[in-house]
Amino acid sequence: MVRVISQETYDEVVNENIEQFSMTPEEAIEDAVKQFEAQGVDLSNIMKDLMLTDGNDLIAGYVNQLNVAIQDKSYENVSQTLDKLRNELDKDVAHRMYAGNKGAYKTLIKLMKSFPNNNTVIRSALKTMTSLMTGNPDLLNDEGVALQIHILDRCTDISTLQYLLHWIRECCIKHEFNRQSIFNADIFNKLKKILMREDASGSELRDACAVIRALVLDDDIRHEYGKAHEHASVIARGALSVLTGLMSRFKKDKGVVGDVMITLAALIVRNEFCQEVEDAGGLKFVIDVMVDYPDSEKLNWQALKLLKALAGNDAVKSHIVISGCAPLIVSAISRMKDSECVVSAGLACISALTLKCPSNAGVFYDCGAALVIIDAMKAYSKSVNVLKQAAWAIRNMSVRNKAECQEFIAYGIEDVLRTALKQHGPKLESDMKAALRDLGLKVELKERWTGQGVSMSNSN
């Protein structure tokens, strides 16, 4: 388990080095860092050079200046002070945590409440708050959530709205409790209003989609069970038709189209949601995107992610292949072989579409998928993710297609799988061995459990 210390503990050791061992500040810092690292302490949250830069005076001074402005109800120099504070916060997470300990969060909340009608101050405060909480989301409290909803309800300025959405999104990343608090404050209906507004700009829609995706994350290791699925289900029931409608409305805006596709992929967590998106024309739109933008790495990655999500419904899975997606997927992997994210997404897509579906697997064989998969494994021999996705695709294409799977063997897949197994060991052992087994190749499988040979008798 990673060990952490407070800024105060670190400072005490540095001061002790100076006072008791007559070290210079530079020597004291160097020695303290070596001591703590030797003990396995994570210093990423520590401002190591605080004594050299007087960073404590800068951050504490800026926070104090803002408190004075709030007390005097004077906003003349507030924006400049916020800019200076933000520059310090953007240096690293240690500066942000130090500022939080100095009361920066409470001060920024008070500031926004004190000057509610001054958009210049509010915008600058929101930007600074986002910087403060980037990678440091624990600061959010009920007062902050209430303020977010208050501004969201009353804000008419587009820039202010976007800065607010940036802050809300940052609060949700790697923090399950924040996500639940924000979601329970009925934020979805506020976001839905943005999505449904006729005059909403593309940038507003993209920021609203980013918040929606953040609300359905499951990335907080401190919580074993999150509510990502519940959040996604509630949002999907209320927004799938709206989001699919946006794809047609903004079909010339690559940024909006891509964000909508990746948002839909995050939301369709149930069988009926996949069908709803297809019924609304979502599948046809994805195909059009891949045809119209063959050279856009990001759009193709987003389209592949959505296709994989849609494959969660067996009927839709069949329609995806019947609609001609297989050659598009194989072509995207081949064309963009230098993009690991596209290759990985494409392999995951093949795996999903061929799962328990030999007819779909046959189509992918006809499209030359076998050679493309092997080439991808060779090109990304160090990428555990690509190799894992490839192994799954091979298994699903082979397990019920014993005749066709000879194509993999003819292209030398056995050597590729065994090399990956040797290179990555336990990380990929089960995946590589399962692929070898389903191809009908020789493999040694471990018995995870064996009986002890103890005879049993019925005592009755």
Show me where the domains of the chain are located: 3-13+16-52
pLDDT of residue 181: 97
Among candidates 426, 428, 417, which has minimal Cα distance to 378?
417
- This prediction has a pTM of 0.87
Q: Is 251 helix (H, G, I), strand (E, B) or coil?
A: coil
SS3 240: helix
Q: Structure tokens of 133?
A: 């909480």
> Of all helices (H) and strands (E), which one includes residue 435?
helix 429-438
| DSSP at 132 | H
pLDDT of residue 36: 79
Residue 275: the pLDDT is 97
Q: Which of 278, 243, 234, 242 has the alpha carbon at shortest distance from 264?
A: 243
Total Cβ atoms within 10 A of residue 290: 21
pLDDT confidence of residue 55: 45
d(CA 332, CA 290): 8
Q: According to the model, what pLDDT value does residue 304 have?
A: 98
Are 311 and 320 a contacting pair, CB within 8 Å? yes
For 227, the token pair is: 């509510």
Question: What pLDDT score does 153 carry?
Answer: 93
Contact 311, 282 (CB under 8 A): no
Tokens 């999903």 correspond to: 352
Q: What is the pLDDT of residue 27?
A: 78
Q: What is the DSSP letter of 78?
A: H
pLDDT tens digits for the chain (460 residues)? 568 777 778 778 777 777 777 777 777 778 878 887 888 888 777 777 766 554 447 899 999 999 999 999 988 899 999 999 999 999 888 889 889 989 999 999 999 999 998 999 999 999 999 999 999 999 999 999 999 999 999 988 999 999 999 999 999 999 999 999 999 999 999 999 999 999 999 999 999 999 999 999 999 988 888 999 999 999 999 999 999 999 989 999 999 999 999 999 999 999 999 999 999 999 999 999 999 999 999 999 999 999 999 999 999 999 999 999 999 999 999 999 999 999 999 999 999 999 999 999 999 999 999 999 999 999 999 999 999 999 999 999 999 999 999 999 999 999 999 999 999 999 999 999 999 999 999 887 666 655 565 555 555 5
Contact call for residues 128 and 82 (beta carbons, < 8 A): yes
